[in-house]
Amino acid sequence: MRTWGPTLVVVFLLAGTAVAFATTERQKLETTPFSVIHVDQTVSPKLKPATIRVNLRHEHLLTVQIVNAQDHAVATLARDQRFDPGVATFHWTPAVPDGTYRPRITIEDGRVFVLQNPIRVDSIPPRITVVSYHPRVVRRTAKPHVIVVYKVSEFAHAILYADGRKVAGPGYGKNVTGRIEWITKQNGQRLGAGTYRLQLAAVDLAGNVGPRTHAFVVRLR
């Protein structure tokens, strides 16, 4: 027995290692148990929750968490909760500092999936500045439009107001500089002669709307 003892220990250790290796390799070969349908890229905690939506191939017990850059969980959306095959939707209302976070999904066999779909939390409204605008006087013989050039503090869409009423935007640009056009018509007819007070505001990709600029004047003749 003294001869067989160490040998048996080695055999058991090797068998255990082989089983663990086989299990790991089998899990690698298995398809991911779900597909990602949608993850909100940017969200403002002041406006709405972030939505995470996946399609499960089979029934699973899921633990769904949001993790920060250090892989620490900052929120738990489900814990060992049973979900049927099909679409599962989760909502996260951030109560965290602005930054980038990721969904992490753990299934009942211990496998962990950190989704490669970052969610950027942004609670700060953008600020927009008027760079230039022309013409400042629109005559009847000229094209009935005014071009306003602007810059913003982050990627955002511009909104243009005339006498407090929105007349253009938000556009589809995602730049920190841009231009927005005001067609000085209403229902196909030129606006009446007079002085109009214009202002810009910006809405960022998370939906935060920034303050309006000081008014700048355009005259229609």
Domain ranges of the chain: 33-121, 128-220
Helices in 137-213 by DSSP H: which ranges?
none
By the 8 A CB rule, do 144 and 186 touch? Answer: no
By the 8 A CB rule, do 99 and 120 touch? Answer: yes
* Helix (H) / strand (E) containing 25: helix 4-29
Query: How buried is 10 (Cβ within 10 angstroms: 0-12 exposed, 13-18 middle, 19+ buried)?
Result: exposed
| Bridge partners, 22 (sequence order) | none
Quote the tokens at residue 92.
């996260």
Question: Which fold is adopted by the domain 33-121?
Answer: Immunoglobulin-like (2.60.40)
CA 221/CA 135 separation, integer angstroms? 12
Residuewise pLDDT in 10s, the chain (221 residues): 445 555 444 444 444 444 444 434 444 445 789 999 999 999 999 899 999 999 999 999 999 999 999 999 999 999 999 999 999 999 999 999 999 999 999 999 999 999 999 999 999 999 999 999 999 999 877 788 999 999 999 999 999 999 999 999 886 666 789 999 999 988 778 889 999 999 999 999 999 999 999 999 999 98
Same fold, 33-121 and 128-220: yes
Of 157, 149, 139, the closest CA to residue 198 belongs to: 149
Question: Which fold is adopted by the domain 128-220?
Answer: Immunoglobulin-like (2.60.40)
CA 100/CA 166 separation, integer angstroms? 33
pLDDT score, position 112:
96
3 state DSSP class of 208:
coil
